[in-house]
Structure 1
Amino acid sequence: MSAAYTLYAKPGFAVTTIERLCSEARISNRAFYECFGSQEELLQALHERCVEESLAAVSKALQDVPDTLEARVRAGVRAYVEFATADWRRARIMHVEVRRSGDVLMMSRQRAIDSFARLVEEAWADFPEPPGVNRRLVALGVIGALQELLIEWLLAKEAPDLDELVGVAVHLFLRALAP
């Protein structure tokens, strides 16, 4: 999994062969297939591990904050961004390779988005809902915005400063979630 973590992040899932993966991991092809049925299965396992760990980091951050919408948003966004960017490989797998893999991770990606949307909805549940606004759709929208900001951080010629990225994400979340 360690070799895949690096190779799937760069040069990328689509160009990483099982032979290269096994060579990097110093295992035989047979050993690979004893653990995973395919490269797609390994990518899914990596993606799901990253998602579980990031959900745990955000949930933990939300436990110890004042009971205000702004405090929850700031803590949750910062925890997610710090977790995702602490290792560029993680950010790349979660935000770039997951999309480039096409149908391979479609269901895994949808489960992840659903989990994050529920987390946003739970953090927002104690606060008034803007009239005529579907909480679920707003949660999906701000999650999508945060994902795009992280893709910009990964792919831009000059990556935005992480504090600036967090500030923009917090601004978007608060504008979307405020009554």
Structure 2
Amino acid sequence: MTPQAPRQGNTTPDEQAAGVAFGRVYSGLRSEDRALERRGRLIEAGIEVFGTIGYAASKIKTLCQSAGLSERYFYESFASREQLLTSVYDHLSSELMRQVVHVTRLPGRTLTESVRAGMETVVNFNLVDPRHAQIILVEIVGISPELEAKRHHSMTKFAAESSRLVLLLGGVDSESAEDASDEDDSLADVFELARLTGVAMVGGVNNMLLDALRGGTTANTKQITEAAYQLISNASTGVRVLAGK
């Protein structure tokens, strides 16, 4: 966009006040909004570059070219490539979690339909656009202790959601975990089994996705979704037995 030249001598007092409060307006956007727009373009560029040529081979110049921005605008939003990678990972993992939470809680679905929809969402998000899987499962790994901690935190959140679904399939109210006392060993065992199962589910599904990415079978989404559903469904049997359902 070409910045609109400020009008000379005919701005109103209100416009002048707005300029002081919010910064100059270009093509209908405040400077703050334009900065956010540029940041979004850089995140999209990060998805493209990190998801195709990889983080190690990427350069700030390449990222800026992909975003259609000069390097000075890169440093307006990010201090380094790693900081951009962090933001890209945050963007993708947050969006995936948002979608999973949405589809597993839609009204009018049976529990089985909701769980299948959750598995399908995870698989499709990663494999329909393989750049997502490349970043989430490959590029983010081993970059720095800070990113490893962030990756573990994200996986823990997905494991918690998987644990919730395992409990529901096992006939256990997932909300009652907060009511489990230290003396209630049987109930505590149920929730610990569900927690560990959730951790295993994340690892297992991630490895299936990585296998598809590496093996060139990313179009195999239906079979992978079914395998993921069977994993969580079979795991819920152990929860059901332990809970005496």
- Would you say same fold, with TM above 0.5? yes
**Do the aligned partners of residues 160 and 40 (structure 1) sit closer, same or farther apart at CA in structure 2, a change above 3 Å counting?**
same
Letter in 2 for 1:141: A
TM-score (norm 2): 0.65
**Do the aligned partners of residues 132 and 7 (structure 1) sit closer, same or farther apart at CA in structure 2, a change above 3 Å counting?**
closer
Q: Report the Cα offset of residue 112 of structure 1.
A: 1.1
Give the equivalent residue in structure 2 for 1:154. Answer: 213
Measured in 2, the distance between the counterparts of 1:55 and 1:18 equals 29
Give the equivalent residue in structure 1 for 2:85. Answer: 43
* Number of corresponding residues: 177
Of 95, 100, 121, which aligns to 2:163? 121
Q: Report the Cα offset of residue 100 of structure 1.
A: 5.2
Q: Report the Cα offset of residue 102 of structure 1.
A: 5.0
Measured in 1, the distance between the counterparts of 2:141 and 2:232 equals 23
RMSD: 2.2
Q: Report the Cα offset of residue 170 of structure 1.
A: 1.1
Measured in 1, the distance between the counterparts of 2:219 and 2:234 equals 21
Counterparts of 1:19-168 in structure 2, within 5 Å, are: 19-64=61-106, 65-67=109-111, 70-99=112-141, 101-103=143-145, 105-126=147-168, 127-128=171-172, 134-159=193-218, 161-168=220-227
**More divergent stretch after superposition (22-31 vs 51-60):** 22-31
TM-score (norm 1): 0.87
Measured in 1, the distance between the counterparts of 2:131 and 2:218 equals 15
Unaligned runs of 5+ in 2: 1-42, 173-186, 241-245
Bigger Rg, which one = 2
| Secondary structure of 1:73's aligned partner | helix
Unaligned runs of 5+ in 1: none
More helix by share: 1
Measured in 2, the distance between the counterparts of 1:7 and 1:132 equals 41
Question: Relative contact order: is structure 1 or structure 2 higher (C-alpha 8 Å, sep ≥ 6)?
Answer: 1
